[in-house]
Amino acid sequence: MFNEGPLDFTAIDFETANGRYESICQIGLVRFENGEIVKEIDCLVKPPENSYHWGNSRVHGLGSKDTKNAPTFDKLWHLMEPYIFRKRIVAHNSQFDAMCLRTVLKYYNLDIPPFDTVCTVKIYKKNLKKLCEEHDIELMHHNALSDARACAALYMKYLKKQNI
């Protein structure tokens, strides 16, 4: 763990354009410090070759027309890096989001920063949509920022239950 308090974390979610981890097409990031939101990032990203698989588009509703003029990940990384470097990253299925991050950074020959991960799937053992229904959390499922916000809300509920 890095020098973060228990209420300091970054919730992230990535939507991908196809089956490749580096095909990030949308970023959602919510940074909490001392339990309060201090930063949100909601960006469309042009994936490599702007190539989409119909199955991914069916899930999140994005396609090549939506990202043809969007910046590539390497042009957006400087916005995210301060909230990732030596931070606690919370995601619903953090293994997937961490793999996307590491893979896209390698793709663009960018340094992979140190970070810790917390997985709300491992904490709750249910899918995000069902959890949001159960906990009355607003969710526009498979919108990266909405998913990151929902994940953050679930993590805050977990911390509260732990008396943190």
Question: What does the domain layout of the chain look like in residue ranges?
Answer: 9-161
pLDDT of 164 over the 80 cut: no
Instruction: Calculate mean pLDDT across residues 136-158.
Output: 96
Question: What's the average model confidence in pLDDT over 120-126?
Answer: 96
Share of the chain above pLDDT 90, in %: 94
Tokens of 111: 């340094």
Backbone angles phi, psi at 126, to 5 degrees: -145, 165
What's the predicted TM-score (pTM) here?
A: 0.94
Residue 11's SS3 state is strand
Instruction: Please state which CATH number belongs to domain 9-161.
Output: 3.30.420.10
In the predicted structure, residue 74 carries a pLDDT above the cut 70: yes
The Cα 82–Cα 121 span in angstroms is 25
Res. 98: pLDDT tops 80: yes
Read off the pLDDT band of 1 (50, 70, 90). low
Mean pLDDT for 133-149 is: 95
Q: How would residue 4 be classed by pLDDT, with cut points 50, 70 and 90?
A: confident
Structure tokens at 71: 């910046």
Residue (of 76, 78, 77, 16) closest to 48 by Cα position: 16
